[in-house]
Amino acid sequence: MIGFITKRLLTAVVVLAIVSLISFSLMQLVPGDPAVVLAGVGATADQVEAIRQAYGLDMPLPVQIGRWYLGLLHGDLGRSVLMGSPVTQVIAERLPATLSLTAIAFAISLVVGIAGGILAALNQDRWFDRFILASSAFGLSIPSFWLAILLIIVFSVNLTWLPAGGYVPLGRDPLGWAMSMILPAFSLALLQIGYLARITRTALVDVLSQDYIRTAVAKGIPHWRVVTRHAVRNALIPVVTVVGIIFSLMLSGSVVIETVFSIPGLGRLMSSAIMSRDYPVIQGTLLVTAAAFSLINLLVDIIYAVVDPRVKYD
């Protein structure tokens, strides 16, 4: 297992290097000049050129990439062209909001999705099973941004129960933090709840039809014990893989939700950086996101081996 983890970490380093190289190259193809944006309206050509030289934007692409990699080895992601602050500081300030949103939405998806899938499988072809399937299809069909706007209209504008947007840090006001996360988290989680419920139901229905389950029931073992100790554990094996994908989708899908609810997270930071061509911020956020994806995949592989003892990593 140690050797497997070491190989995966080395692979992740290569992946991060390739991701940063591709993103840096693609940004050069986007029209516009960040020096012009930073200089503002009415700036002279000399002022624009001075800004371009100050931030190294006048250097060839290989030189810019080389300087960025050299700074990365020292833990320096550069400075934001527009904000003037270190990229590490900018990301650190916005990371808690994204982690809060993703963690709460992920927890909601796990609890509701897996529980709904298990109950649907135990009531196969009954009204509750059909209700879960119809609800999951409904959740999979609704765009997250449309649901977010609908929830704002109902619960914020009409009922005034919850805030329409913004973010309250957990350390400042725990209750305000929870209130500000309810609508965004549910908007982000609904799509994945339906997906996870369907996967869980299909896996558990397949396991319940296996011979060893029928043998356990024939021996007189209580039904609840057969389900909890044998069926559910084996049904969770394919679900574990899906869970990793779901968390990654939530992390990337937070861009839309953060924009709709005005949450100052990494997704909103990346979208604004792309619009203004703030290269250091784009590189930094992409690097953090890619690192999170690699870590999630590694954790999924480890959990997979714990859930299924038959899986061995050399």
143-149-151-153 Cα dihedral, nearest 10 degrees: -150
CA gap 297, 288 in Å, rounded:
14
| H helix or E strand, kind and range, residue 17 | helix 2-27
Alpha-carbon dihedral angle through residues 176, 267, 291, 112, given to the nearest 10 degrees: 60
> Which domains are seen in the chain, by residue range?
87-307 (1.10.3720.10)
Per-residue pLDDT of the chain (314 residues; tens, 9 = 90+): 676 677 777 877 787 778 777 777 776 666 666 677 666 667 777 777 787 777 677 777 777 777 777 777 777 777 777 777 788 888 888 888 888 888 898 899 889 888 888 888 888 888 888 888 888 787 778 888 888 888 889 888 888 888 888 888 888 888 888 888 888 888 888 888 888 888 888 888 888 888 877 787 787 778 778 777 778 777 877 788 788 778 877 877 778 888 888 888 888 888 888 777 777 788 788 888 888 887 887 787 777 767 666 666 55
Rounded distance between C-alpha atoms, residue 275 and residue 272, angstroms: 5
**Phi/psi of residue 79, nearest 5 degrees:** -120, 145
